Every structure is written in structure tokens, then in C-alpha cells.
Amino acid sequence: MRHIGTVILWAMISAVVILVITLPINLQTQLVASIAVVTFMAVIKVLRAEGIWRLIALAFGTAVVLRYVYWRSTSTLPPLNQLENFIPGFLLYLAEMYSVMMLALSLFVVAMPLPPRKSRVAETGKLPSVDVFVPSYNEDIGLLANTLAAAKAMDYPPEKLTVWLLDDGGTEQKRNAAAVIEAQMAEARHRELQALCRDLNVNYLTRARNEHAKAGNMNNGMQHSTGELIAIFDADHAPARDFLRETVGYFADDQKLFLVQTPHFFLNPDPLERNLRTFETMPSENEMFYGIIQRGLDKWNASFFCGSAAVLRRTALNEAGGFSGLSITEDCETALALHSRGWNSVYVDKPLIAGLQPATFASFIGQRSRWAQGMMQILRFRFPLFKRGLTVPQRLCYMSSMLFWLFPFPRTIFLFAPLFYLFFDLEIFTASGGEFLGYTLAYMLVNLMMQNYLYGSFRWPWISELYEYVQSVHLLPAVVSVMLNPTKPTFKVTAKDESIAVARLSEISRPFFVIFAVLFIAFLMSIYRFYSEPYKADVTLVVGAWNLLNLLIAGCALGVVSERSERAASRRVTVKRRCTFVAGGLHHPATLENVSAHGARVQVFGLEAELATGVRGELRFTPYGSDHEEALPVDVRNVENQGSVVAVGCRFLPEEARHHSLVADLIFANSNQWSDFQVSRRYNPGLFRGSLWFLGVALYQTSRGLVYFARSFGGGKREAAP
Amino acid sequence: MLPPARTALIGLVFALTASVAFGQDSAVPFDMSGERTPGTEQKPVVEGGTPVTTTETKEPEKKVATPDPLTRRYIVPATSLLLEGEAASQSFPVFLTPQQAESATSINLGYSNAVVVAPESSRLTVVVNDVSVGELPVQSAEGTKDMRFDLPKGLLRPGLNRVTFNAVHRHRTDCTVRSTYDLWTAVDPARTFLTVPADTSGRLLTTDDIAAIGLGPTGQTKFVMVAPDMGQPVATNALMRLSQGLALMAKMPNQTFDIVDALPATAGAGEMTVLVGTADDLAAMLPSLPVTARSSAVATFVDAPAGNRKIFVVSGPDWPSIEGAVEGMLAPIDRPLGVTREALSVRQRNATEMPLVSGEMSLSFASLGVRTGEFTGRRYRTGFDIGIPSDFYADAYGEARLLLDAAYSPEVLPGSHIDIYVNGNIATTVPITSRNGGIFRHLPIRVTMRHFRPGPNRVDIETVLMTEADKICAPGASASEEPRFALFDSSEFRMPRFARVARLPNLSALSGTGFPYNGQVDPTALYLDRLDADTLSTSATFLGKMAVSSGRALLVRPESSALAIGERNAILVGTISQLPPLVLGQTHIAAESASSWGGPADGGGERGATQEAFDEWQSRVRGGSWRGQISALETWLQETFDISLSSLRLLPGEEELVVPDDTARFLVAQGNSPEESATWTVLSAPTGVDLKAGMVAMAQDDRWQQLDGYVSLDSKGVQALDTRAVSRTRFVATQPWTFANMRLVAANWLSSNILAYAVLFCALAILLGIATSGLLRRFGRGG
């Protein structure tokens, strides 16, 4: 090994650290050391020291966490001969140790994430040929049209770019289905898509049978195509113009490169963001993954394929026999197989596609169930820790990604552990108030500080807990079922283009209210016991506070499952782009303010005549990569006079394939706008302010959830009355 | 309901009044001063004298016909004995010669009790060698009552016998826990004894019978050593070795030595006269001196010239031969170097040997002498003794474990609790929280080791039970026979392996196990400022105590000059004015005390008053100054987390020089030799009389156990020793170097130097961060 000296030095220092951590010192010493560490970390954080200080802060945190683990393991487990305490106590201990292990793995992954790569623009000279696959199952044609048009508009030599629509909704099996309506719909879809593809100059491909779901569909695509590289976009993921320019170049640098993955950027909020109204202000859930974790994985050459927005090398895929379809998360499985064969991957930290994510809570849970079950399947069938061919860091990285999905277990245990004490008087964690202060509180504080230090501007305090909680309720049975029956789950396409017409409770919201009620009773119980049993008020206080925290999160989750109605069927994207608004034959200079898949808002200058709604007009603008203006037909929906300019809302009326390309050009062509949007909401409110903010959100969302709940009964009666 | 902490506190108050043997620890979690409940007032006061008894005292004396002190074997080695609470038991060893065992016929008991004790439901039992010989209702509230119980033939054995007093008390009217503190029976040591008729068998006494020296009516044991030649330096060694030998044979708790030059006319109970000298010197004094003494060494009992008693003679033609005789006596009882003890031979506490816990060890309550017991009352206290080695170094971090097997009935209410005390300091409270009764099966209870000290230690388990019935307190309810609590002897005390390294100076190790003198191969230098009766008596008493603590007789080499000691362990005895400044300096005694201590009250007193006034003003103006802020912070830290600012210091400060104040009459101080490789222990007082009297007071077992720190000062009329804690410690390895031990030593050192740990922790974390950063830069993809 090249750096044997560094390794030995590090190992020696670690040994000394472990030695000092495992000294059985007394509580006072622990308390003072904890205060010192917390102060030190706070100073580092306040000074925003980076570089080496980042690792020093993490080392501080690690040391405190390890002390907690040492103390927790040696002094707090209930005695073995009290089984009623020991069993739940040990489960809680396991849950905590799982959390610590996940912390260790994630520290390993993200201790020093790779800084975003500099833009690597591919040289025009010897570009490889690229096949673009857009696998589809049941997506709306308009959606597909935008995606295909955007893919076709990518900045790449046309002779080297082939776009394929891989339609699994129009297979022979579907078209000849026994149910006549479905067969007719499949037939119609087959025809319409073929026409669309013809217009857009895109290859349409379908197959005989829907075998092996998405993986099988793409393998079928591979058999009919010949390009050196394969770019994959989900049906709702439209690429920006520079997608290939930014990604293809890496394949020339490294002949063993099989994957360039880019982030998924979503135009619409997920149910939590929508119902909590945080989409515009708070970083999205997946930004932690794409902004930090994938970069961390990339450091260890373990960034993996996420199913879309990626470019793969055909020779590599051929070597592994195409996309793997054993699990329902074929993407990660394929990456694992190729990594273990010595192929490399690269992650480009720049959003180059824009897509949609599930809008309703139910489909959100459906998507997450698929991921969790798929990861469990990979864990079961291809256990990465012992998979040959992987480097040690790669094994740890994959384990980190898979084991993460076990979170429903500890989350459930943390949720119910206080109830053992509050309802059944079991003591499953033996510690005094002072010890709790010196160890547990220090551990929790340091843990929060570390999370904030690592992910601060990508994930605000308590949001991870909220996401984990809302998923756990339904993911726990899903994960248990896949553990019992690992081959059972099948690939289900997640619906992403649903919209919520009326505000309502999610159809799977019932358990959240039940849990909230139980926790609320426990909360009342803790108050009662605090006063009625003064001799153990300290324990009641600690357990009660823990339960209160659970109650706050559970209350906040009530807001998450109370779906707000959303007016616009698709999100508007802010753009600033010059254009010409043509109405009644008059050309007016105008600026595009925002666009969606269906329409745009334009600020028109010098519009004198009163404009009636429904008037037909044109938007004329120069698409990227073109040198002349083109016209997109619209009709006027509303007009607003703003003094010197008039704001006009108009709806697109695409008549031919070229019009779809123009819409795609307006929305998707410029990738910088995604980055700008992400940066605008990426800031770290800090632990203290973040927690206060969360408290406010939780209280408000609890009340909103309860109002929706009450209304659901009222509504039910009214419907029943007549 | 009383909050648990408060109840525990009250328990502590009473524990303290009952016995003053508890370690003086400045950092006791609760401040107990000034806490007195009304109940205390009625109790006999224990200060030095016999318990205050009422008028009846004289009456029984008349009934007993002309008592000959020699016919009494007193039992209680103390000036008073209180059996307190609802259930109390005390056992005492009595060593009898075969003749005494044969002829003793009865046991006398003098007792009085609190007025509130209900006679119909309170019993006092006398048990001899596990056979109950007498049981009576407790009904002597008006004054001391004498009882006499006949002993069955053959019950007493030659050698050790065990006499136990059990008391069960119930309150007349009150059912509260608080009321149990008002319950007591006082056993009068002077009127509690075995009657042994004078020896008429004519059997020759042997050295084995020295152990039967017994006690005086106030619990004292005294060897009067008659050494006409004591002024001769050559005699010193033999006298010191002999006193240690006698001490080891008798092993009585409060034994002292009185070296005189003339034969006393009489000897009381608990006294033995020993004649030491060359045959020539003794011949005049003792006509019955064996003739062989002129030619060879003798050590034997002979008849006293006057009075019907025996005296012990150690003699020979010259001093070397006398030394030979002394060594001959010592050989069978001494413990060779390198042999470790399994138990501390201090019998005084519970008539059981005290297991020496020198490492990882599990001891069942049965083996510790705690029996399974059921209990019907409110407050139940029981406990055991264990011995701790002198190099015990786990007071800061250590935790022992009690695995409790116990049960409580459904009527016990939550809020009841079990408290564990170590040497009278509360160590843990286990609340009882279940309403429907319960059984603890090896319930682990963590017991902090901070109150453990080298030598004998007492662990008490006190159960405080509350019930609905007690709240109502119907008439007669306090005497209910329904058991509420049971403690099983299958419970265990579990000592983990603890850090072992000796610290010096350390007077508690000295009193506990005679460290650092107990294990040394070379003789200890012994400097006596003059060879007179006071100095020699002091030295002999001290070495006698040391021998019992060490379990072996120490080799000493008398030195005539303190400056000649050099780098050797030494014991220095003398009046303060005679000790060289070097010695005072090494043991941190202020040089000016050589002239000022014991002198007329002058500047010293005034300075004290000034300091007092200054302190008072400082506390009055505390709010303003920043110094006041700091001391307020310190108080808060101390109260909340038991952290003091001195424990936050990074480097230990220098020892403060001790200026004994005028109330002090005697001190024991310990310091390093000039090169810091050996230990000097100084016994000093302003005058020779104070020296001897101070040592006699210090030899009382309860006070001997209080020795601690680097200086302990004894004051007349004050029960507690004034001890000064060590801040600069010298570590001396006593165990072979092992990683496991060093780890624990480090744990204890860091736990007592809190800030050092924080600094070390942070420094290592920074190093780890830097190293990790180096590692991550070299591995994986670079930035």
C-alpha cells in the first residue's frame, strides 16, 4: 500500500482515542468533557471553519458518540433477569446502535465529499454515438412529447444522437389483453405514440411481452440499438440542452467508466413540501442525497445509477448482461454489478434534467416502498459487504445505502419506547438524571450538531425525523413483507402527474391519527404521573420530554397527510427571456416571466388595445441552438395591466411536433435555472433557529391536520344526509 | 410523605450520633451539620463519657457483692453502645482462656431505653455463640436496669466467643419513619460483662493467654510496660517490637501502651503489666524473677510481688537476648513478607473477620455475615464490613455493585426506598416504585466507591418502608407482625477490578493497613526525640496500632538524629519544639508552630479571628465582587454536579502549611523525604504529656479510622479529627505493571483531574481529525 505510514499513524491515534473513550471515568468528568466538546463544536460551526476543521469537528462528535456507546453498552441495559424490562430495553439499545452504525457509515461516506466537478464540456471532434432511452409505461402523451422533444433538442451532433421511446404500455401483450377496454386503450396509445414519434423524428420501440419490467424494456432497447453510450431519461424527466455536453466527455477520459449520473431535479413539490408549503423556501428532500451523499459516494467511486438522468456505456452493460432485473430497483443493482466488475462511475453535481415527483402522499409512499423493498432485495440477494470485486470503501458505501432503508424499525422503536414506561411502568433504560444530562443529552446535542454540520444547508433540523416518521408508518410492513418474502414485490410504476382538486385527507392517513391519539394520551399520562409520583419525577420528566418530541413530529405528520388542493396542474418555472408577443397581427416586445408545460406569463410592452381573453396569438422567440425566431401559437387567458407593461397569461396551443419542441425549449433548455433555484433555497438556518421554526410548523400542522380530520367527518355526514 | 433525600439525611444524622467512626469527608453529598430532629435530644450523649443514666444507677451496684474487677470480662469495647431503630444487632468477640471458659457462669447486662419504646412489643435478646441465653421486654425507660442471665454449661469455648445483643423496638404511639429514630436501647458497657471467678486452678498462664487481656469498663485495653532501663537506646528496639507483638496477640480495638519505670501496685480489668529489662535491672523489683533469666532469655508469666495477679516478664542477661526472646514470641504470629492477607484481622466490629477485597470479587451476604431477615417495621438497617487494600485508587471513578435479593409486600407504597451507605455516607438510593409488592432478584445497585478508604469499611443497607396502615396508624398498628420486607442472604456484593496504586502521603492508608510501612523489607527508621516515658509510650501505642492494621510487626531501627534518616521510610515522634525544621518542612507543618503551638494565646488566635471576620465580610459582600461571583459559581457547581473549582484545576497546587491552632493537642502528619523517595510520618504535640494523651485518644478505634489526608489534628473534647486533604500526591507502584491496571489508574486520575480529561479528550479529537483528514486526502478520489 502506498500510504502505509498515514494508515499506521491514523490507526495509532484512533487506538489512543478509543482507549481514552473507554476509560470508566466518573460522571462529573464526562459532564465537563461534554461541555467542552459542545462548546468547541459550536465555535467551529459559528466560525464556519472548513477544510481540516470540518474533520476536527466530526472527530469531536465521533468521540462523544463513542463515549455514549461505551456508556450505553456498559451501564444502562436492564438486568437480564428482568425480562420484561430487558427485551424492550435491548430492542431500544439495538435501535440506537443501528443509528450509531448508520452515523458511522454516513460519516465515512460524507466526511470529505468530492467538490463539484468543473464543467467538462465534451470536445466536438470525436464524440461517441449516443442512444437516448425514454422508457414509458402509462405516462400521458403530452408529458412524453415534452420529454422527447427536449431529448431531441439536446446540443449534440444529430447524426450521433438517436432518441428511442421504449413503450411498455403498447406491447403486444397489452394490446391483446383479455380485458377489452385495456386492450383498446393500449392500441390507441400505441398508435398515437407512433405518430408523435414520427413527427418528432424519434424511434418508437415496443416489445411482445412485459417481461422484467423496466429493466427488460431497456434491455430490449439495447438489442435494437447500437450507440456506444446510452442515456436514460424517465418519461417525465426532460433533459436540458447541455446534458450530453456535460456528461459524455468523461467517457473519453476513462475507458473503464460505465456511468455518469446527474441529479434529479423536480419541478413540483413532494407531498410534504406541498402540504407544509416549504417547496420554495426549504431544500428538497433529495438534495441531501444528490447534493452531498452522491458526492461522498463519488469520492469512493461508488456513486450509483438512479434509474434516470444518467449516461451508461454499452460495452459495460453488455459485459454484465444488460440491466439486472432481479430486484425492483434495477438501477442500483446494475451499478453494483458493474462496480463489482471493476467499472467506474462518476457523479456530476449539476441538475441537467427537470422532472416530476409523486404529488399525492399515497403515491409518494408507493414510490418509497418500491425503493425500500428493492434495496432490501439487493441486500438479500447481492449482499454488498461480501460481494467480490468491490473495494472496501465501495462495500461500505453500498451497505450505507441499503441499510438506510431499515430505518422504519428504529423509528418505530423510538416512537413506542417511552410508552413502555408511561403506560406499563417498565424501566428499559437505567440511568439517573445526571447521567442522562452528561451522556444522553450530550450525545443528542452532538448528534444534531454533526447532522447540521454535515447537511446543514441541505437538510434542516428535524426534517429527516419527520420524513422518516411519515414513511415508517407504511414502510415498516412493506420492509417486513419483503424480508419474509423477498421475491414477492413487483415493479410498480409510480404515478407522478396526479393532481389534487380538493383539499382532503390522504386515503392512507388513518394510522397517523391513531398514533397521534396514543401519543397524546401518553403525554397526558406523563403530566399526571409527574404530579402523582413525585419520587420518580425526574424519570417521568425525561421520558415525557421524549414522548413530547415524538408527539410534535407525529402532529406535524398530520399536516403532511392532509393534502392541500393545488390549482395549477403543473408547476410554473421562472424564466427571463426576451420574446415577441404577436396579437392581432401586431408585434410587441415582451419578456417571458414564467412558463409551465401548458402556458406562460408574458410581460408585454406597448400593448395599447384592450386584449380580450380567448384571443389567439403567437409567441415568437429564438430557441437555443437556433439562429432564427420561431412561433408558438397561444391563446390569451388573462390580462393584467401593470402600468408600463401588461402581464398576459396565455395557454400554449401546440399543433405540430415542432411546437412541443418549442415548449420544451422554453421550460427545459436552460439547465442553469435549476441550479439557481436550488441555490436560492439552500441555506442553513442553524440548529436553534431551525428547531424553533420546526416547532412552529409542527404546531400549525397539527392544528391543520386536526381540522381536516374533523372536516372529513363533517363531509361524510353531509354526503350521507341526502 | 417525606422526600427520600430528607429521610436519608435524617438517617445520616442518627448514624453519626451513634458512631463517630465514619470517615471525615469534606465532599459528603449532603451537608449534615446542624440537622437535628427533636428525637435526638432525649438520647444519651456519647461525648467521651459513659451514657447519662438516671438515679437508678447506684441501686444495682449494691446488690452485687463487692465486685472484684478481675472477675469481670467486659464485652463492649466502647464507652457506650446504642442499639437504635426498630431492629438493631451488635456482636462482640470475647477471648477467653480455657479456665475462664470453663468457669464463667453468667452474663450481666445493664441497659436503659427510650421512653417511647413500647415494652409489650419490644424485645432485647442476648445471644452467646448463637444460642439465645436471655430475652426480655425493653422496659427500662427510667434508668439503667441490670439483668443477669445464666449461661448453660459448655456454651463458652476457650478462645473466641461471640456475644450478640439484638434489639427489636416499636414505638408506643407513632407509626412514622421519623419516629423510628427515637427508638433506642443503651447498653452500659461498664455493667455488661461475663462473670468469671478468680483463677484458682494454679494453671500456668502462657503467652497464648495474652489475647485474653480483655477490656476495662470503658472499653479500654492497656498494656503497662515496666522498663526501668527505658532511657537506654539499646532498649528501644526490644520495647517497640514487644509492644507490637503484644498488640498483635490481643488485637483489641482500643489498646494503648504505657511505658513506666516502676511496677504499679494493681491492674484493673483490661490491663496487663509487662516487665521488660535485663535480669539485673529487674531482680530488685521482682523477687520471683526466674533464675534462668540471668543466663538466657525468658518470656513468661510470674506472680506479682503484691496482690493476687500475674505479670508478664520478658528478660534475659542482656538486651540482645531480650530482643531474641521478643522475636521468639513474634515468630508464630507474625506474617512473613510477601504473604497477602485474605481478611483484615480487626475483630472489633462484628465479631467476624473482615474479607480483604483486593480485586474483582463476589461476596454473598451470607459469607459477609448478613443473614436472611424478614422485617415488619418501617426502617430496617443492616450491613457488613469489608477490608480495602492501602493501594485502593478508585475513589473517583469506581462503582461497586450490590446484587440485591429482596422482596416487599403489596402494602408497601411507592416512595419507599432502599438506601446504601458507605462509611455513613449515602452512596445510592433505590426507589421502590411498584404498588403491588415485588421481588428483586439480583437487582443490580451501583454503589459509588468514593467513600471507600483503605482498611475496614462499613456498607449499610437501609430500607425505608411506607404503608397505608402507617399513615392511618391505628392503635397497636406499629406492632404488626406481618412482614413487609425481606432481605435474603443470597444477595451479593460485587467488587469490580479496581485501580491499584499507592498514593503518598496518605494517612488513611496508614491507619487502614499500615501503609507504607507494612510491606517494607528494610527496617523503618524510628526517631524519638527523647527516650522518656511519654515519647516511648506514644511510639509503642502507635506501633501497636500499626501492627494490628498491618497484620504484622514492623521492623524498626531507632535513630538518634533525624538528619541521619535520609531516604528511608521513617516514623518520627517528639514534641513540636524538638523536631528539626527539616522534618517540619517535609511534612508541611509551619515552622513557626515549633515555637507558637501550645504557647500562650497570641497572634495566632488573633490571626484566626481576623480570618474569620474577613470570611464573614466576604460572604456578606459576595454579590458585588467578581470573586464573589466565582464563589457563587463554585457553590452552584458543587450543589448541582458535585464539581468544585479545585477539581477543575489543571495542575495540583502546593500543600498548605499547617499551623495547629490552640485547641489542637496532637497531630499526625505525613510527608515525603527530601528526595521524595520515602515517607516520613510525624507524631507531635506541644508537650510530652499532650503527646501521650493525644496518642491514647488517637488509639481509640473510631478515631484511628478517621486518620486521613496529610495531616490529622486531634483536639481535646472534639470528636472528629481535623484532616487536611492531599493535593500533591506521589504515586508508588504496588502492583506489577499491567495495562489493565494502568488503564484504571488513568481513569481515576482523570476523574479526579476533570479538566485534564477534557483537555486530553479535545486534544485527541483534534489529532484524530487531522489524521483522518490526512488519510482521506490520500485515499479515494481527490478534490
Question: Which of A16, A55, A536 is nearest residue B433 as measured by Cβ atoms?
Answer: A536
Q: Which helix (H) or strand (E) holds A716?
A: helix A687-720
* CB within 8 Å: B761 and A536: no
* CB within 8 Å: A56 and B766: yes
Cis peptide before B264 (omega within 30 of 0): no
Dist. CA B154–CA B377, nearest whole Å: 36
- Chain B segment 604-643 residues within 8 A of A by beta carbon are 641-643
**A688 within some domain:** no
Question: Which of A9, A20, A111 is nearest residue B776 as measured by Cβ atoms?
Answer: A111
* CB within 8 Å: B431 and A535: yes
Interface test with B, best of A535, A536, A538, A543 (most B CBs within 10 A): A535
CB B557, CB B527: distance < 8 Å? no
Residue of A nearest to B648 (CA): A32
Residues 6+ apart with CB under 8 A from B163: B75, B91, B92, B93, B94, B107, B126, B127, B128, B194, B351
Q: Are residues A353 and A307 in the same domain?
A: yes
Three cell numbers, residue A187: 392500441
Say yes or no: B198 contacts chain A, CB-CB below 8 A. no
Q: Percentage of chain B surpassing pLDDT 70?
A: 83
* CB within 8 Å: B772 and A23: no
Residue of A nearest to B638 (CA): A28
**A153 within some domain:** yes
**A398 within some domain:** no
List, for chain A, all residue ranges whose pLDDT scores fall below the cut of 50: 716-722
**A483 within some domain:** yes
Question: Which of B643, B746, B773 is nearest residue A55 as measured by Cβ atoms?
Answer: B773
Q: Percentage of chain B surpassing pLDDT 90?
A: 38
Amino acid letter, residue B379? R
Q: Are residues A413 and A509 in the same domain?
A: yes
**A170 within some domain:** yes
Q: What is the dihedral of CA A256, A258, A260, A263, to 10 degrees?
A: -140
Interface test with B, best of A3, A29, A439 (most B CBs within 10 A): A29
Q: Are residues A555 and A577 in the same domain?
A: no
Average pLDDT over residues B156-180: 90
Q: Are residues A233 and A143 in the same domain?
A: yes
Which residues in A lie closer than 8 A to residue B779 (C-beta atoms)? 3, 393
Q: Which helix (H) or strand (E) holds A645?
A: strand A645-652
A687-720 vs A537-560: helix axis angle to the nearest 10?
60
Residue B63, φ and ψ in degrees, nearest 5: -65, -35
* CB within 8 Å: B417 and A16: no
CB A307, CB A331: distance < 8 Å? yes
pLDDT, position A719: 40
Q: Are residues A428 and A335 in the same domain?
A: no
pLDDT, position B668: 94
Q: State the SS3 of B656-692.
A: CCECCCCCEEEEEEEEECCCCCCEEEEEEECCHHHHH
Q: Are residues A131 and A215 in the same domain?
A: yes
A/B interface, count of CB pairs below 8 Å: 161
Question: Which of B441, B643, B770 is nearest residue A81 as measured by Cβ atoms?
Answer: B441
Q: What CATH code is carried by the domain that includes residue A137?
A: 3.90.550.10
Question: Which of B399, B642, B781 is nearest residue A299 as measured by Cβ atoms?
Answer: B781
pLDDT, position B283: 86
What is the tens place of the pLDDT at every residue in B82-111? 999 999 988 888 988 888 888 888 999 999
> Where do we find the cell 467512626?
B21
Three cell numbers, residue A506: 390522504
User: Does the pLDDT value for residue B287 go beyond 90?
Assistant: no
Q: Are residues A556 and A429 in the same domain?
A: yes
Query: What are the percentages of helix, strand and coil residues in chain A, rounded to 5?
Result: 55, 15, 30
Residue B307, φ and ψ in degrees, nearest 5: 80, 155
What is the tens place of the pLDDT at every residue in A369-423? 999 999 999 999 999 999 999 999 999 999 999 999 999 999 999 999 999 999 9
CB A390, CB A304: distance < 8 Å? no
* CB within 8 Å: A55 and B765: no
Say yes or no: B42 contacts chain A, CB-CB below 8 A. no
Which residues in B lie closer than 8 A to residue A75 (C-beta atoms)? 446
ipTM attached to this prediction:
0.90
Residue of B nearest to A431 (CA): B446
Say yes or no: B757 contacts chain A, CB-CB below 8 A. yes
How distant, in Å, are the alpha carbons of B359, B405, B488, B491 from that of B366?
A: 20, 12, 9, 8
CA distance B618 to chain A (A): 28
pLDDT, position B237: 92
Instruction: Report the range of poorest mean pLDDT among A162-166, A711-715, B631-635, B644-648.
Output: B644-648
pLDDT, position B305: 82
**A510 within some domain:** yes
**A231 within some domain:** yes
User: pLDDT category, B628, cuts 50, 70, 90?
Assistant: low
Question: Which of B642, B775, B781 is nearest residue A7 as measured by Cβ atoms?
Answer: B775
User: Does the pLDDT value for residue B78 go beyond 60?
Assistant: yes
Q: Are residues A328 and A435 in the same domain?
A: no
Average pLDDT over residues B611-624: 65
* CB within 8 Å: A6 and B775: yes
Pick the last residue of a domain from A671, A693, A717: A671
Largest CA distance in chain B: 105
Residue A536, φ and ψ in degrees, nearest 5: -130, 35
Say yes or no: B157 contacts chain A, CB-CB below 8 A. no
Which residues in B lie closer than 8 A to residue A68 (C-beta atoms)? none
Which residues in A lie closer than 8 A to residue B428 (C-beta atoms)? none
CB hemisphere CA count around B649 (13 angstroms):
8
How many domains are there within chain A?
Answer: 3
- Chain B segment 389-448 residues within 8 A of A by beta carbon are 396-399, 414-415, 417, 431, 433-434, 441-444, 446
Task: Tell me how far the alpha carbon of residue B225 is from its chain's centroid.
Answer: 25
Interface test with A, best of B772, B777, B778, B781 (most A CBs within 10 A): B772
Q: Residue B352: which region, alpha, beta or left (left: phi > 0; alpha: psi -120 to 50)?
A: beta
CA distance A75 to chain B (A): 9
Compute and round to an integer the Cα radius of gyration of chain A: 28
Pairing of strands B711-715, A344-347: unpaired
Q: Which amino acids of A are annotated catalytic? A: 168, 331
Which residues in A lie closer than 8 A to residue B3 (C-beta atoms)? 534-535
**A344 within some domain:** yes
Dist. CA A248–CA A263, nearest whole Å: 15
Residue of B nearest to A67 (CA): B761
What is the rounded average pLDDT for all residues in chain B? 82
User: pLDDT category, B61, cuts 50, 70, 90?
Assistant: very low
What is the tens place of the pLDDT at every residue in A216-270? 999 999 999 999 999 999 998 999 999 999 999 999 989 999 999 999 999 888 9
Which residues in B lie closer than 8 A to residue A425 (C-beta atoms)? 433-434
CB B247, CB B545: distance < 8 Å? yes
pLDDT, position B518: 86
Pick the last residue of a domain from A332, A357, A382: A357
* CB within 8 Å: A31 and B641: yes
User: Does the pLDDT value for residue B38 go beyond 60?
Assistant: no
User: Does the pLDDT value for residue B629 go beyond 80?
Assistant: no
* CB within 8 Å: B765 and A434: no
Class of residue A722 by CB neighbours under 10 A (exposed 0-12, middle 13-18, buried 19+): exposed
Which residues in A lie closer than 8 A to residue B6 (C-beta atoms)? none
Q: Are residues A248 and A288 in the same domain?
A: yes
Domain housing A24: 18-112+407-562
Q: Are residues A548 and A625 in the same domain?
A: no
Q: Which helix (H) or strand (E) holds A705?
A: helix A687-720
Largest CA distance in chain A: 90
Q: Are residues A199 and A103 in the same domain?
A: no
Say yes or no: B131 contacts chain A, CB-CB below 8 A. no
CA distance B758 to chain A (A): 4
User: pLDDT category, B360, cuts 50, 70, 90?
Assistant: very high
Pairing of strands B492-495, B361-364: antiparallel
Q: Are residues A327 and A473 in the same domain?
A: no
Average pLDDT over residues B657-686: 91
Pick the last residue of a domain from A513, A535, A562: A562
Which residues in A lie closer than 8 A to residue B431 (C-beta atoms)? 535-536
Tell me which residue of B731, B710, B729, B707 sits closest to B720, measured CA to CA: B707
